[in-house]
Amino acid sequence: MPSLDNSESSGETLDFYKSHIRELEAELADFQASSRELEQELEKELEASEKQHRDLRNKNEALRYEVDEWKVAISPPPVVTAPIRGVQVRRRRRRLTRMFLDAE
């Protein structure tokens, strides 16, 4: 940075600052270009991660469905004792009612 001596010409000072501005503009342009490149790379990585996440979710859902199918396939058949017992209770009640009515 030039000193502000009266002996120094103002043209040299102006040239110095113009040169410094050009350097800063070049650095800014480089920074903006690298920022754009980084942003594009990050967007690609994000898209890939989102796709992988969707694929894994779909696979997880398919596997859960398959597990449910296997549970149904290997589970023992349901026991139908409740309706049978209900029928047996009704029959016994009828029989006892008839016996009671016949005894009167």
Domain extent listing, the chain? 10-77
State both tokens at 4: 């502000």
The total of other beta-carbon atoms located within 10 Å of residue 16's CB is 13
What pLDDT does 102 receive?
A: 79
What is the spatial distance between Cα 100 and Cα 104, in angstroms, rounded to a whole number? 7
The model scores a pTM over 0.75: no
The band of 44, judged by pLDDT with boundaries at 50, 70 and 90, is very high
Percent of residues, the chain, with pLDDT higher than 90: 54
pLDDT at 79: 61
84: confidence class by pLDDT, cuts 50, 70, 90: low
Q: Give the alpha-carbon dihedral of 51, 57, 58, 60, to 10 degrees.
A: 140
Which 8-state DSSP code applies to residue 8?
A: S
Residues 6+ apart with CB under 8 A from 8: 2
Higher pLDDT, 52 or 7: 52
45 is written with which tokens?
Answer: 């990585």
Residue 8 scores a pLDDT above 90:
no
